[in-house]
């Protein structure tokens, strides 16, 4: 907190509340966020592919059983 001499009103120093982070920290945080975003999308795609394969296998088994009964 800084006291202004003329008015004696306490003011808050914004730099003290929000200290500047280094560029390397900012780049590191960006790369980490990008890394996790890529893996989140890749995980969702992989999950959808696995689910589609399981549905196809179950459908194939059901269709084979129906065709055998005829």
Mind listing the pLDDT tens digit for each residue in 12-69?
676 667 777 788 888 999 999 999 999 999 999 999 999 999 999 999 999 999 999 8
54 versus 4: which is more confidently predicted? Answer: 54
Whole-prediction pTM: 0.55
> Which residues face 3 on adjacent strands?
10
Nearest-angstrom CA–CA distance, 13 and 2: 7
Residue 24 near residue 32 (C-beta atoms within 8 A) = no
Helices (H), 1-70: 14-17, 23-69
Where in the chain does DSSP place strands (E)? 2-3, 10-11
- State phi, psi for 6 to the nearest 5 degrees: -70, -35
């Amino acid at each position: 907190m800084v006291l202004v001499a003329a008015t004696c009103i306490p003011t808050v120093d914004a730099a003290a509340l929000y200290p500047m982070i280094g560029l390397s920290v900012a780049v590191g945080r960006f790369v980490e966020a990008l890394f996790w975003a890529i893996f989140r999308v890749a995980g969702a795609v992989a999950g959808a592919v696995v689910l589609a394969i399981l549905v196809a296998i179950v459908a194939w088994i059901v269709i084979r059983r129906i065709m055998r009964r005829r």
